[in-house]
Amino acid sequence: LTHHLFPEHHVKRNVSNAAKGFQFIKKRKAYCIAVSSATKCDLQREEGITEDRIQVIYEAADREVFNHIYDTDRVDKVLEGYGLERQQYFFSLATLEPRKNLKKTLEAFIHFKDAHPSSGIVFVAAGKLGWKEKLGFNNRKDIVHLGYVGEGELPALYSGALGFAYVSKYEGFGLPLLEAMRCQVPVIYGANSSMKEIVGPHGLGVDAESTLEISNAFGIIFEDEVKRTELIKKGYNGYFSLEPFAD
C-alpha cells in the first residue's frame, strides 16, 4: 500500500503496477490476507475493502534457517568473507530505496560515532539496490554496504551483530525484524505502521525521522550490557508471543 502512502518514494511503474493489482482484486471481489492488523486497516482506508473480506495472518521467519549461531567459528567464517572478522558492528538488511530510511539511519550512526570516537564499531548494511536512493558516505571506512546477501549467510550476520537497525518509514510487516529476533540480536525499529504491532516492547522503537532518537538507541545497545541482554531475551520471547488475530 506504499503506492498510496508514499508515492514519492516509488518510480512510476511501481505505482502503476500496484494500482492495477488492486483493480484486479476488487474486480474479482477477492478476499484478502493481510500480513498485519496495520495493513488490514490500510486496506480498509485506502482501498475501501470491507473488514469481512480481510483476514490477518502474520508472516514468520523460517525456523529452519533463522536461529542464533552459537558456533563462533561458523560466524567468523562468514564475517571473514566480508572482511569483518573480529569486528563489532550494527547490522541492517533492506532494499536500498527511500522508504527504508537507511540514509537517515546512517546519519544517526555517524552522530553516535561522533559521541563515541574510539569505539571502533562499524555499520554493516546488506540488501540489493532498489530505486531513488543514493546513500553517499563512500569516504567512511566505518560504513560498509555488502549488497545482496544470500539467505544462507544472513543468520551468521545477524548472530554476529551487536544490534539490528530497521528504522523504516513504513512497513506492511517487516520480516527482517522477526529474523533478527529469532537470531537473538536486539532490534531498533521505526515506531510506526505494523512495526509497533510486530515488535512493540520487545525492541527499541524510535521516531524514524529523528536522528537523535535513532542515535540514542545505538548508544543504549552499545553502552548498556544489561539492557542489551534484556532486549535479546525480550526479542526472542516476543517472536513467539505474536497474536495474529488481535487488532
Element (H, E) at 188: strand 187-190
Indicate whether 234 pLDDT > 50. yes
Distance CA 16, CA 145 (A): 30
**Got the DSSP string for 101-120?**
-HHHHHHHHHHHHHH-TT--
pLDDT at 246: 39
Mean pLDDT for 27-41 is 95
**Alpha carbon distances (Å) from 36 to 172, 243, 245:** 7, 10, 9
What would the pLDDT profile of 100-130 be if each residue is shown by its tens digit? 999 999 999 999 999 999 999 999 999 988 7
- Tell how many helices (H) and how many strands (E) occur in the chain: 10, 8
Mean pLDDT for 198-226 is 97
Total residues belonging to the chain: 247
What would the pLDDT profile of 68-102 be if each residue is shown by its tens digit? 999 999 999 999 999 999 899 999 999 999 999 99
For the chain, percent of residues with pLDDT exceeding 90: 83
Indicate whether 247 pLDDT > 60. no
pLDDT at 243: 61
Chain-centroid distance, C-alpha 146: 16
Which one, of 195, 53, 29, lies nearest residue 44 by Cα? 53
**Alpha carbon distances (Å) from 6 to 11, 30, 35, 98, 153:** 11, 25, 19, 10, 31
Structural contact between residues 124 and 144, judged by C-beta atoms closer than 8 angstroms: yes
Quote the mean pLDDT of the chain.
Answer: 93
How much is the pTM?
Answer: 0.92
Helix (H, G, I), strand (E, B) or coil at 57: coil
Q: C-alpha angle 154/59/166, rounded to 5°?
A: 50
Indicate whether 19 pLDDT > 80. yes
Strand runs labelled E in 100-186: 122-126, 143-147, 163-166
Chain-centroid distance, C-alpha 214: 13
For the chain, percent of residues with pLDDT exceeding 70: 98
Indicate whether 4 pLDDT > 60. yes
Mean pLDDT for 193-208 is 96
Q: For residue 64, how many other CB atoms are within 10 A of its CB?
A: 6
Mean pLDDT for 217-233 is 97
Q: For residue 104, how many other CB atoms are within 10 A of its CB?
A: 18
Indicate whether 245 pLDDT > 60. no
Range of lowest pLDDT (130-134, 140-144, 172-176): 130-134
- 139-171 in b/e burial notation, b at 16+ Cβ within 10 A? eeebbbbbeebeeebbbbbbbbbebbbbbbbbb
Indicate whether 18 pLDDT > 80. yes
Mean pLDDT for 7-15 is 87
